Amino acid sequence: MTELADRPAGAERTTAAQATAGRTTPGTAPAPAAGPSAPGVDVAALGELLLGKWADIRRASRELAGQPELHKTEGLTHTEHRRRVFGQLKILVDNGAVHRAFPVSVGGADEHGGNVAGFQELVIADPSLQIKAGVQWGLFGSAVNHLGTEEHHAKWLPGIMSLDIPGCFAMTETGHGSDVASIATTATYDPATEEFVVHTPFRAAWKDYIGNAAVDGLAAVVFAQLITNGVNHGVHAFYMDLRNPETKEFLPGIGGEDDGVKGGLNGIDNGRLHFTHVRIPRTNLLNRYGNVDADGTYTSPIASPGRRFFTMLGTLVQGRVSLDGAAVTASKLALKTAIQYATERRQFNASSQTDEEVLLDYQRHQRRLFTRLATTYAAGFASEQLLQKFDDVFSGRADTDEDRQDLETLAAALKPLSTWHALDTLQECREACGGAGFLIENRFASLRADLDVYATFEGDNTVLLQLVAKRLLADYAKEFRTVNFGVLARYVVGQATDAAIHRTGLRGVAQFMADSGSVQKAAIAIKDEASQRALLTDRVQTMVAEVGSALKGANKLPQHQGADLFNQHQNELIEAAQAHAELLQWEAFTEALGQVTDPGTKKVLTWLRDLFGLSLIEANLSWYLMNGRLSMQRARTLGDYINRLLVKIRPHALDLVDAFGFGPEHLRANIATGAEKVRQDEAREYFRQQRASGDAPVDEKILLARKGHGTKTQGTKTHGTKTQVTATRG
């Protein structure tokens, strides 16, 4: 297969199955033979499917991200990197890459899904550029857009869009990150002057980790507790000027610090902000969801303070949607590089006296890369569904309260999985490429450092999954409002068992075993789509029902007792939420298969989907065994069937990563250029010629092997720790 390794993506060629016909993977069955029935992947069509609804915008963004002036320059100091990235923002403005989501009235296009799709691709150029752009237009600008009124739009959005007003999104505080409702900065209304007085009462209330705060930010959207007429109406957003645009000095009452060098994303000037009785006009309140009249009277179109709070934060859910897709893109970059390299790099004479093995022919190498490739496909399809849901809500096509809650829950479920997966994939791909993977020139280490914070910003992943878990519990409680949780638990377990065993083919597995005792046939039954769905769904339902039963009556207990009971089951809740998110990814992958018309592509993608589903079951095998969902004998079939899937997928590995559509200008990794193939071919030719010449030195092991075939070993001489063997040829 290595003869394909250095051809450009999308080039015409034979199918991977034909190219690898007859090859044997060490320790596994032979790869599928070429022939009329051998499936192949339509790379171009698959690439279009992966690009999704906003394919043209993604392509345009990738073209922009491929320009050298936007690429990360390794080795810069953090101050140099900051200056470079700020300059790159102006390139985005000049190319119209940041205006899509803003209102038509100020020069935008009200294109919300396409805007995020384009943003997700910027990680290819430099994650610092992507996140700095996200701070400016996805957070600061978006807050003015979605929380402000037309008056605010006309006043500030043109300058924000043009970068004349670089800004900050000042929500997080040193003492409160994910718990936004508890932030301590206050904005107290003074009716005598019709001003809000913004104040940070203690050090833990400083705004912290704020992008653009250290150097570039001239203004900020500041989140604070709105207090008027002695009543705290909760967290609201206020527009505030921070610095003199000429001198770049802080305005009176405002101060701050530089967060300094971070573990990654050092092209962004994160910093701290604090306010000492800073006065701002009443009209600087972004008042779409809450207004204060001149006399201090507070009004809101949303009566419930809790719902109002979540509605205001919900308008900013695009940050989580953006990170979800960006993490998938980073995983794709890593896998394309690692799998390309693995088809070229050779190591160890496992099955030949003369040729070393290609890394990707080793089963373990396939396991570590193909399972992550399958997860990346699943995460990508789920991300596209999330993006479409986001666009439906923000375009107004489906903007009910329930739609927004569904969007918030979906984003909270998928963002943790995709960001954790990206970090895991980057690390595994780094290790799979050995020392070459550790070189900054091949980007794994740099990308992983930059993406590390994706797991904790725009919502800490663990906290987000807890939010999902609470929604799952609420949904079950709503569905079974008149049924106590003990009954609910028994119902769900019974329902899942009935579905899994009686209606989806797992009873067929038992029958296969009873009839023939064939492990292979048992595995065939388990791999059935309906069986995978039943097993994955059953686990979610049962876990939620069990926690629901354990928490029965918690809301009737004194607060501290209820909190203690919840805390005792927090881990199970989060595990249930993660299982739910994994099921969503599996369902998204399965639904995507329905869009594939080419039979060969559909066959290969089905293998990849099965690999994803069965790997999830294998990873949680202890649960399925302890809960009686799989027998021990049936469980043993999983590993063998997964290994057979690896062999089937192996001939198509390059096709599957080529479908990502990355060119050299996107990968920018020396080991993905075909250079390794050139080196390996040179080495193989050198040793071939040496063998053919008859002048090759004799290996000591060969001499020892000849002892019984006419070869005499005259003796050995020992010098320190070295043993010299002298011999004559008989």
pLDDT at 657 (0 to 100)? 98
Amino acid at 422: A
pLDDT at 371 over 70: yes
Predicted confidence band at 633 (pLDDT cuts at 50, 70, 90)? confident
pLDDT at 503 (0 to 100)? 32
Least confident of 68-72, 137-141, 477-481: 477-481
pLDDT at 495 (0 to 100)? 45
Handedness of CA 340, 341, 344, 350 (dihedral sign): negative
Query: Looking at residue 353, what DSSP letter applies?
Result: S
Predicted confidence band at 525 (pLDDT cuts at 50, 70, 90)? low
**What is the residue-averaged pLDDT of the chain?**
86
Q: Tell which residue, 271, 252, 253, 251, has the closest CA to residue 261.
A: 271
pLDDT at 624 over 80: yes
Name residue, tokens 């996805």.
Answer: 138
Q: How many angstroms separate the CA atoms of 268 and 409, rounded?
A: 29
pLDDT digits (tens, 9 = 90+) for 532-574: 999 999 999 899 988 988 888 888 889 888 889 888 989 999 9
Least confident of 409-418, 427-436, 487-496, 603-612: 487-496
pLDDT at 630 (0 to 100)? 87
pLDDT at 475 (0 to 100)? 83
Highest mean pLDDT among 239-253, 387-401, 495-509, 527-541: 239-253
% of residues, the chain, pLDDT over 90: 67
Q: Which SS3 state, helix, strand or coil, does residue 238 take?
A: strand
What is the domain partition of the chain in residue ranges? 169-308, 318-665, 699-730
pLDDT at 8 (0 to 100)? 34
pLDDT at 493 over 50: no
pLDDT at 480 (0 to 100)? 57
Distance of CA 260 to the CA centre of its chain: 26
Return the higher-pLDDT residue of 478 and 543.
543
pLDDT at 272 over 50: yes
pLDDT at 708 (0 to 100)? 64
Count of alpha carbons within 13 angstroms of residue 362, beta-carbon side = 18
Q: What is the pTM of this model?
A: 0.87
Predicted confidence band at 689 (pLDDT cuts at 50, 70, 90)? confident
Task: Spell out the SS3 assignment of 191-242.
Answer: CCCCEEEEECCCHHHCEEEECCCCCCCCEEEEEEEEEECCEEEEEEEEEEEC
pLDDT at 549 (0 to 100)? 85
| Residues tagged active-site | 458
Q: How many angstroms separate the CA atoms of 148 and 289, rounded?
A: 9
pLDDT at 581 over 90: yes
Q: How many angstroms separate the CA atoms of 187 and 210, rounded?
A: 19
pLDDT digits (tens, 9 = 90+) for 387-398: 999 999 999 999
Residue 522 buriedness (CB in 10 A; 0-12 / 13-18 / 19+) = buried
pLDDT at 709 (0 to 100)? 61
What CATH class has 169-308? mainly beta
Predicted confidence band at 511 (pLDDT cuts at 50, 70, 90)? very low
pLDDT at 664 (0 to 100)? 96
Query: Looking at residue 285, what DSSP letter applies?
Result: B
pLDDT at 376 (0 to 100)? 98
Mean pLDDT of 123-140: 97
pLDDT at 175 over 90: yes
pLDDT digits (tens, 9 = 90+) for 28-74: 333 444 445 678 999 999 999 999 999 999 999 999 999 999 999 99
pLDDT at 18 over 90: no
CA distances from 509 to 522, 523, 697 (A): 5, 8, 58
Predicted confidence band at 719 (pLDDT cuts at 50, 70, 90)? very low
Q: How many angstroms separate the CA atoms of 252 and 275, rounded?
A: 9
Least confident of 87-101, 224-238, 687-701, 708-722: 708-722
Amino acid at 712: K
Predicted confidence band at 22 (pLDDT cuts at 50, 70, 90)? very low
pLDDT at 490 (0 to 100)? 44
Long-range Cβ contacts of 304-310 (<8 Å, 24+ apart): 305/233, 305/234, 307/401, 308/234, 309/181, 309/234, 309/235, 310/408
Mean pLDDT of 211-233: 98
As a CATH number, domain 318-665 is: 1.20.140.10
Q: How many angstroms separate the CA atoms of 201 and 186, rounded?
A: 8
Amino acid at 365: H
pLDDT at 133 (0 to 100)? 97
